[in-house]
Amino acid sequence: MKNNSLKSAGRRQFIQKSAALSGAFVVGMYIPLSSGAVTTEANQPALANAWIRITPENQITLICARSEMGQDVYTSLPALLAEELNIPLSMIKVEIAGVAPVYVNAMLGGQITGGSSSVREGFDKLRTAGAATRAVLVQAAAARWNVSVDQCKAMNGKVTHAGGKSATYGELAMDASKLPLPEKPALKSPADYMVIGKESMKRLDTPAKITGKAVYGVDVKIPGMAIASLAQCPVIGGTPSSVDSSAALKIPGVIKVVQISDGVAVLAKDFYIARKGRDALKITWNEGSNAMLSNQLVRSQLEAGLSKKGAIIKSVGDANQVISSGKVISAQYFLPYLAHSTMEPVNCSADVANGKCRIIGPIQFQQGGQAVAAAAAGVKPEDVTIETTFLGGGFGRRLEVDFIRQAAEISRAAGMPVKMLWTKEDDITHDFYRPMSIHHIDAVLGANGQLNAMKAKMVSQSITTRAFPGFVKDGVDPFMVEGSNNLTYDIPNLEIANVIEEVGVRVGYWRSVSNSLNAFALESFMDEAAKAAGKDPVEYRLAALKKQPRAEAVLKLAVKKSGYRAGSKKFGVAQMECYDTYTACIVELDTSVPSTTVKKVTFVADCGITIHPDQARAQLTGGIIYGLGAALSNEITIKNGQVQQNNFNNYPSLRQNQIPVVEVHLIPSQEKPGGLGEAGVPLVAPALVNAIAAATGKRIRELPVQA
């Protein structure tokens, strides 16, 4: 059969349709900010476009179109600009962009921060913007001095001439702004990089975060603002049917009680009083259609889905024929619902007044926020301004726009600006959860013990069916295939299928999306196949990676750096390609203690050109810890429609004394940058259970490990 992998075609169609939906597919980069963008007034831009602003005083600003949630866009994206402008990174100031079609993420089809795409999508775009700006600055200088362009050089924020003349970028900006930008300026060779890839690079946002000047959503203050605490139905989707607010209104400091579409908000001068007022409300809830939902019910529906054919998302050779006539090995894997559990609980500030709506908060999807706020506030989208703060963790939760709608509804109903703050309990019990999934795999080994045929089927809810329904066609969700349709192993007969089974639970994009689901099943199965063949798990994988040199290289380096030894009973291994980054993970257990204790995690990544190496390692380390905590102890359970976990006591994050030694190694590469923010998450769980199987002989096929 022909390989019908969706890796390129499905994503390309997704991007094209997304771009059409958003109103523009951005190709150019020079878009004047306004008709008055060119000015000589103090501190005003003399040269401005969608990405760069340069004032006469030589203040250079990057307009950053991606949200900063710890992943480093405040530094890595300015580094791309600094490189081509030939200036030190410290010369660049960063401002978060408003909402505009030019800021659409071409990889995701909206003004979205996610999918480990910020650097991947901005790598060419921002370097081109910088190089084009540098070109017109040099041209402006040459014209002013009546000399050849070849005799002028742009460096460190000024253009100099061999004869001794010089002018700052700011002094040249007015003249440069009148020149046409070259569409395809020459970009620097990696060998000439002065900023990109340097270990000495420092984060630009560190001083603001250390001094407390960085503004997160919870820090927002608007004159006349009230604090709102929102009571929501214990069953997600439920609505208030009757409300007695008399006791709440008697509490000193309570300002108002307002009802919105899915809850009741108490407004007060501070959160303590607002929460106290919320607790005094007497609400009768209409729990809706999800009141009888439970994990058992969901799991039974997913198990029934295994009997469905589903959508074939990758096919090579004829797996069905080989499996029907061979000796089959089979396994089935299960993964639970997971919450995002960001450190900063959900919050949003809104001011609806005079036909306008102002939204300020930690937002990953600005266009979606603008649209939902407009509907909630009863105004036109163009009358909604979105101001994005720093995010105290995103992990996909702040791609959702429910909290933006709620804040706008509360402000409109109350007739005043508000800051809505959820509690941690609200956050965990009203999340958009990583889907529960079941995976069944059948395979037949060849004469050499390697996989001759494999059929893998995943049954799960589709996040995209809810979030972007137009992108799910013929049963294919382009995000459900992550981690499976890009399988790196050479298997001559292969069939991978997905079955979408909707069950009513609210699901969302969780850090690494389906990579964490598919990698657990496929990398666990590779270990089981190696055992069935009587081969070492590392050698078994390497034999199937001969056509994937980057995957082969990361695995070999992981073995070397971890001290892995064939036959040892304390190591577990896993490898994959995730968001264009090739990764390998080896978990080492502490076998001197009876409980499951991870002693060390060795992680190797080939992420192409690395913009900020120190932060690359930090992102991967954070992903490893996030994934390990989830694998060990995290699970969302539902009973009578209500989520049973509600805080760190029963949905824990790893504490410092529980974190193993984590070593991250980067392979130097000249390939285009790969993603990093999510790439550290998926492999930890399969490497962990593979280590447990090596140590104990017990094969764990369901998470969490410590259920």
Average confidence (pLDDT) per 10 residues, the chain, 707 residues: 37 32 26 30 66 94 96 97 98 94 94 97 96 96 97 98 95 95 94 97 95 96 97 97 98 98 98 98 97 97 97 97 97 98 97 98 98 98 97 97 98 98 98 98 97 98 95 95 97 98 96 98 98 98 98 98 96 98 98 90 98 98 98 98 97 96 97 98 98 97 91
Q: How far apart are CA 230 and CA 266, in angstroms?
A: 6
Q: What DSSP assignment string belongs to 200-225? A: T---TTHHHHHHT-S-BGGG---TT-
Q: Where are the domains of the chain?
A: 31-205, 217-288+346-421, 295-338+432-696
Domain 31-205: give its CATH code.
3.30.365.10
Cα torsion at 491, 540, 629, 430 (round to 10°)? 10
Please tell me the predicted confidence (pLDDT) of residue 335.
Answer: 98
What does the alpha-carbon distance between residue 187 and residue 193 come to, in Å, rounded to a whole number? Answer: 10
**DSSP string of 293-362, one letter each residue:** --HHHHHHHHHHHTTS--EEEEEES-HHHHHHHS-EEEEEEEE-BB----SS--EEEEEEETTEEEEEE-
Rounded Cα distance, 668 and 666, in Å: 6
Fold identical between 31-205 and 295-338+432-696?
A: yes
Closest CA to 38 of 174, 176, 168, 130: 174
Query: Which tokens sit at 509?
Result: 């994009």
Q: Where are the beta strands (DSSP E) in 579-616?
A: 581-589, 598-606
> CA-CA distance, 669 to 689, in Å (whole number)?
30
CA atoms within 13 A on the CB side of 128: 14
Instruction: Fill in the DSSP letter of residue 399.
Output: G
Task: Compute the CA torsion angle 568, 569, 571, 576 (nearest 10 deg).
Answer: 90
CATH number of 217-288+346-421: 3.30.365.10
Q: What pLDDT was estimated at residue 50? A: 86
Q: Locate 218 and state its tokens.
A: 């919870």
DSSP label at residue 110: B
Give me the pLDDT at residue 594, please: 84
Nearest C-alpha neighbor of 217 from the set 69, 340, 97: 69
Please tell me whether the overall predicted TM-score, pTM, comes out greater than 0.85 for this model.
Answer: yes
Whether domain 295-338+432-696 has CATH 3.30.365.10: yes
Tokens coding 115? 């999918």
pLDDT at position 44 is 64
Instruction: Please work out, in degrees rounded to the nearest 5, the angle formed at the alpha carbon of residue 129 by the alpha carbons of 127 and 130.
Output: 65
Of 62, 61, 77, 63, the closest CA to residue 118 belongs to 77
Question: Edge-to-edge strands of the sheet including 152-155?
Answer: 152-155, 158-161, 166-168
Please check whether residue 336 is in contact with residue 366, taking contact to mean a CB–CB distance below 8 angstroms. no
